[in-house]
Every structure is written in structure tokens, then in C-alpha cells.
Amino acid sequence: MSKFPFGKPSFPFVTLDVFTTTPFAGNQLAIVVIPPDQHDTLTTAQMQAVTREFNFSETVFLFQRASHAATDVPEWRIRIFFPKHELAFAGHPTIGTAVYALGTLMQGANKGRLLCPAGPIELEYFPSEQRARASIPHNFHRHTEADFTREQVYALQPKLKDAGVEFKDVNVLSSVKGMNIVAVELADREALAQVYISGIPARPKLDSDWDVGFGAAYYYVFIDRGGTGRPTVIRTRMMEGTLEDPATGSAACALSCFLALEMRQGGQTEFQITQGVEMERQSEINVRVTLGDGGKGNIEKVELGGCAVQVTEGKIRL
């Protein structure tokens, strides 16, 4: 920890654009680094205040270890905050933190681990591409106790009803408990382009044992339904009240899990998801879902992948 005037503690931070290799595209992320001797310095309330100051969709607090033995897989405890509350897991913070921790702090280490409230996350890093792949905590769930109707979708997007846009499928999904989306399949990219920030939040009725956490509307269209040796290619947009998110890894994982179970194309299904185009912050998200029993069983593994590029660095004073 360094000192600003008046004895105020400060902590180093970096910002990255995630799911891109192009600065000022992708999804913004702030990472605040907490040195080993200062792990108890920041309170939860202070972390929440710092998150609001950055005003990105998420901010990560990365707790450094004093050292990593040469034989150890390097690991870091992290906490992830949305401007309004803490999250057990989120996708783009995981990928951005993996790229920074393994690429910068560990100077290109190939493997690592993040410890978040949802569970441990095993990491792989590909230095030449600035790309990370994370085996994420997953507890996929499709909510079935109450339908989310087409009229409810139109209530979120009134202009779509006026334009006569139809919905092909609507499902309420969770990648883990607390991370919930209304997944709305549209017919084509022209329909997707008509989605807009309505300011109306998605409030689906969740199954009784899952009625917690964040909710948003996630609109998607198929570009290529994939097949042998080809990924399924999808375009998406994410709306949460007054905000549009340029890249949403947890939503991409939830949708990919749902589709992998529906499609049953084999033991492993690859998804390439593009988001943020309409915001001019194009993001490229890769998800790989592994099903047991050669594709006939349940979800065994979910891997989230993508690139990140550092944009700024500095220190933040409490």
C-alpha cells in the first residue's frame, strides 16, 4: 500500500476491455489489487463505494498472495461487485481478471485459479492471443413454475409489439443461483436491431428455491446452428432496465447450457457469441459445454473463453 497526502491509503488498479483485443471495444472492467498485508483494510461498504466510483458494470477486488511457489498453480481470491451489490460470480470479470493475473502479474503463466464465492475457477491462459479460458462454477437451471409470456416480453419492449416483431422462444434461465435471465429468441438480426433500452426492468417469476439475485432480458438470434466441427454462432443483446451490457459472460453460459441440452449434438458443444455490436463495443464470447454420457447426460463442464486488453492503470484513494 502506498500513501497519498494526509495519510489516505491507496490501492493500484487497472481497467481492461474484455472479450476483445481492441481498446474501447468489449466490456469495461476495473480490477483493484489488494496487497497481501492489506487484505483486511477495505470493508465491504468501501468496496461497494469504489465500485460505484468506477461506474462500470462490474469491479473486481483481487487479493494478492505473498508468494506463489514454483510448483503451485497460482491462485487469487476475488470479490466481484455490481454497482448495487456483490455478485457470487460473473463472466466478463472472470475472463478479464484471468488475463491480467496470469498475463501481467504472473508474466504469462499458462494455468491459474480464482477463488470466488460461487466456487473455485480453474484457468488456462494463451499468452500469444491474450486469451483466457475458465472452467466456471455452474448450476444451470431452467425455471418452469411460471411461464414468461410473450405479452410480458412486449411489456419490456413496447416498440417491438408496435413493429410486429415476433418471438420464437422465451425461457427463464440461471447459470448459477442469483444470475437470472429472460432469454428471448428473435427471428433475425433485423429484429435484434429493433431492441432498445426501454427503462423497464425484467422481473420474471423465479422458481421457489431460486428466487434470489439479478435479472435481465437477453435477446438472441442464431447466425449458424453449427454441426460437426462447427460452433453454433449467435448474436445477442442484454438489457437491464436503463442499461445495455456490451458483453455478459454469465448470460452466455446460461444460454449455452440451455441450448446444449436442447440440441444434444454430442459430448461437447461450442458456442461463439457476439454481443455489443449496436453499442459499438463488439464483444466475442466463447462457451464450451460438455455433457456426460457422450452427450446424453447432464452438464459436466462449462468453459468460458475470451480475450482482454488493458486500457488504463493508476491508484485509487479511499
Question: Which residues have a catalytic role annotated?
Answer: 58
Q: Could you tell me where the beta strands, DSSP code E, fall in the chain?
A: 2-3, 9-18, 27-34, 59-63, 75-82, 85-87, 111-116, 119-126, 131-135, 141-142, 167-174, 179-186, 214-224, 232-240, 243-245, 268-275, 283-291, 299-317
Q: Are 86 and 79 in contact (CB under 8 A)?
A: yes
What whole-number distance in Å separates Cα of residue 90 and Cα of residue 240?
15
Per DSSP, helices labelled H in 59-157 are: 91-100, 150-156
Q: Is 51 exposed, middle or buried (0-12, 13-18, 19+ CB in 10 A)?
A: buried
What whole-number distance in Å separates Cα of residue 131 and Cα of residue 307?
4
Nearest in space to 100 (alpha carbons), one of 78, 72, 67, 71? 78
What whole-number distance in Å separates Cα of residue 36 and Cα of residue 180?
34
What whole-number distance in Å separates Cα of residue 263 and Cα of residue 232?
10
- Indicate the helix (H) or strand (E) that contains 47: helix 44-54
C-alpha cell at 76: 487469487
